[in-house]
């Protein structure tokens, strides 16, 4: 049975405007079965266009049609005409499609068995159907602290392995007249995926916290046994302290400003992911950079890397061309094809036999990945109806982390319909 409009709107990503109609799917003029491939990363539209041409040249019975229109998903499901195969950034909102049962089971595919369980678990942390695999990870973006190796060397600073060493490094840079940390508070997504996620992720079992929080149901709140106010208190206090080492004009700086300034060597550290490296390189291709997981404890080797499923593959049950869509999915999951995409986009392949990170700017994250010290950012578990980014702006400016956590607790405890409207967030795939 086709799911109801109410259930799909509840499962949607919040994008309500229907854009271009997109490409239809059916029998092409060549007699091949057309598959509409829907993909939501603007920066790789050309890449996937070329990749699908390669696929089409290798096939006799299937023709992949690239739909990069960025059309909202909810109306497509409501009309009973979703894409045949999607490559989509996997988030809490998209995970709701799993829980509403509108995605097919892919567990019988051999490709499902090749996915590293630690990355498949990232899907299950948001939603799962017992005995099924509805979403396959395709690209894992690992993030940490990007640092200017030249400034570290010139000031005699080693990559910090503990919280106290990180603070000492910030003090050393400040004393030398170097901005320790470049921050861009104007765009709230940079605060969410950076300061908030990094500081909490290396200090807490994020997935476990949200599992226990959901179990409280209506009993959630600031004074509950499990709460942001209680469990996040220490890491958020450290977050506010770390923020104090930022550039003085952080409140008026945006993402593009950060890439430009960091590329000019104006700060020692930058809390951004691999998507920023290409932008920084446009400013200074020769700037020596590295990345390390943010340490939040006094135990060396405990720091974890923030990861997100930059792309994941899924096939809706409403697709009329599921077999053809599975053919395309299996080709995309070929080890050579998936490895090439991830290497080109500074990401990690989720397959068990995947090569480690090779880019010298990212290899500092590999030990954490190898050890399974990874987490999805805390902000990715929080519904968009809670304006975490706006609360973070207030916290880093005022220094009041307790108010930030109390606000999140109170909003979480409210019925969804009574929550404040969400603040602005990055309109992309990485936050």
Q: CB atoms < 10 A from the CB of 73, how many?
A: 23
Residue 31 has a pLDDT of 80
Output the DSSP codes for 74-86. HHHHHTT---SEE
Q: Is the pLDDT of residue 19 over 80?
A: no
Q: Which residues pair with 86 in a beta bridge?
A: 38, 314
pLDDT digits (tens, 9 = 90+) for 118-132: 999 999 999 999 999
Q: In this structure, are strands 136-148 and 62-67 parallel, antiparallel, or unpaired?
A: unpaired
For the segment 13-39, the average pLDDT, to the nearest whole number, is: 58
Record the pTM.
0.87
Q: CB atoms < 10 A from the CB of 279, how many?
A: 16
CA atoms within 13 A on the CB side of 158: 6
For the segment 369-378, the average pLDDT, to the nearest whole number, is: 96
Q: Mark residue 101 as left, alpha or beta (left: phi above 0; alpha: psi -120 to 50; beta: remaining).
A: left
Confidence of residue 78 (pLDDT cuts 50, 70, 90): confident
Domain ranges of the chain: 5-140+308-356, 142-306+376-418
**Which is higher by pLDDT, 5 or 210?**
210
Q: Is the pLDDT of residue 193 over 90?
A: yes
**Which is higher by pLDDT, 63 or 71?**
63
CB-based contacts of 159, cutoff 8 Å, min separation 6: 147, 152, 290, 292, 364
Q: CB atoms < 10 A from the CB of 116, how many?
A: 19
Torsion of CA 228, 230, 233, 234, to 10 degrees: -130
Class of domain 142-306+376-418: alpha beta
Q: In this structure, are strands 62-67 and 33-39 parallel, antiparallel, or unpaired?
A: parallel
Residue 353 has a pLDDT of 87
- Closest to 253 (Cα-Cα) out of 181, 166, 317: 181
Confidence of residue 5 (pLDDT cuts 50, 70, 90): very low
What's the DSSP call for residue 88? E
Please give the Cα distance from 179 to 68 (Å, whole number). Answer: 40
Residue 115 has a pLDDT of 97
* 373 close to 293: Cβ distance less than 8 angstroms: yes
Confidence of residue 114 (pLDDT cuts 50, 70, 90): very high
Torsion of CA 410, 197, 205, 312, to 10 degrees: 110
pLDDT digits (tens, 9 = 90+) for 321-340: 999 999 999 999 999 999 99
Q: What percent of the chain has pLDDT over 70?
A: 89
One fold for both 5-140+308-356 and 142-306+376-418?
yes
Q: Is the pLDDT of residue 420 over 90?
A: no
Q: Is 191 exposed, middle or buried (0-12, 13-18, 19+ CB in 10 A)?
A: buried
- For residue 334, give the 3-state DSSP assignment: coil
Residue 69 has a pLDDT of 85
Q: How would you label 257-269 residue by residue, b for 16+ Cβ within 10 Å and e otherwise?
A: bbbbbbbeebbbb
Please give the Cα distance from 42 to 51 (Å, whole number). Answer: 15
Residue 431 has a pLDDT of 41
Residue 45 has a pLDDT of 92
Confidence of residue 24 (pLDDT cuts 50, 70, 90): very low
For the segment 40-65, the average pLDDT, to the nearest whole number, is: 94
The CATH number given to 5-140+308-356 is 3.40.190.10
Q: CB atoms < 10 A from the CB of 322, how many?
A: 17
* Assigned token pair, 16: 């309500």
Distances (CA, A) of 209 to 74, 96, 199, 297: 29, 19, 15, 18
pLDDT digits (tens, 9 = 90+) for 123-177: 999 999 999 999 999 999 999 999 999 999 999 999 999 999 999 999 999 999 9
- Closest to 133 (Cα-Cα) out of 151, 108, 157, 114: 108
Residue 416 has a pLDDT of 56
pLDDT digits (tens, 9 = 90+) for 292-315: 999 999 999 999 999 999 999 999
Q: What is the mean pLDDT of the chain?
A: 89
């Amino acid at each position: 049975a086709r799911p109801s409009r109410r259930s799909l709107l509840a499962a949607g990503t919040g994008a309500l405007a229907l854009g271009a109609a997109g490409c239809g799917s059916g029998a092409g003029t060549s007699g091949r079965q057309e598959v509409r491939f829907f993909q939501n990363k603007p920066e790789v539209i050309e890449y996937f266009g070329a990749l699908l041409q390669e696929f089409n040249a290798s096939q006799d019975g299937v023709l992949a049609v690239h739909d990069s229109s960025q059309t909202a998903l909810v109306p497509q499901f409501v009309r009973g005409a979703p894409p045949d195969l999607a490559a989509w950034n996997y988030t809490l909102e998209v995970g709701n499609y799993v829980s509403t049962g509108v995605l097919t089971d892919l567990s019988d595919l051999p490709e499902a068995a090749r996915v590293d369980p630690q990355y498949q678990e990232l899907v299950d942390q948001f939603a799962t159907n017992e005995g099924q695999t509805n979403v396959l990870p395709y690209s894992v973006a690992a993030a940490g602290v990007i640092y200017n190796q030249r400034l570290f060397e010139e000031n005699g600073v080693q990559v910090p392995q503990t919280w106290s060493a990180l603070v000492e490094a910030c003090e050393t840079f400040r004393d030398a007249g170097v901005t320790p940390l470049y921050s861009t508070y104007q765009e709230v997504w940079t605060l969410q995926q950076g300061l908030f996620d990094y500081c909490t992720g290396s200090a807490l079992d994020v997935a476990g916290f949200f599992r226990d929080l959901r179990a409280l149901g209506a009993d959630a709140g600031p004074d509950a046994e499990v709460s942001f106010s209680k469990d996040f208190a220490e890491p958020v206090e450290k977050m506010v302290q770390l923020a104090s080492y930022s550039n003085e004009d952080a409140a008026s700086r945006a993402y593009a400003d950060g890439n430009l300034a960091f590329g000019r060597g104006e700060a020692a550290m930058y809390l951004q992911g691999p998507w920023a490296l290409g932008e920084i390189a446009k400013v200074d291709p020769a700037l020596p950079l590295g990345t390390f997981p943010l340490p939040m404890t006094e135990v060396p080797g405990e720091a974890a890397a923030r990861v997100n499923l930059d792309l994941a593959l899924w096939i809706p049950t409403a697709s009329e061309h599921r077999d053809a869509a599975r053919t395309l999915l299996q080709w995309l999951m070929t080890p050579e094809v998936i490895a090439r995409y991830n290497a080109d986009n500074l990401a990690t392949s989720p397959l068990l036999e995947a090569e480690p990170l090779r880019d010298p700017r990212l290899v500092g994250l590999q030990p954490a990945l190898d050890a399974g010290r990874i987490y999805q950012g805390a902000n990715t578990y929080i519904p968009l109806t809670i304006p975490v980014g706006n609360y973070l702006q207030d916290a880093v400016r005022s220094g009041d982390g307790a108010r930030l956590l109390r606000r999140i607790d109170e909003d979480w405890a409210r019925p969804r319909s009574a929550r404040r409207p969400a603040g602005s967030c990055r309109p992309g795939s990485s936050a």
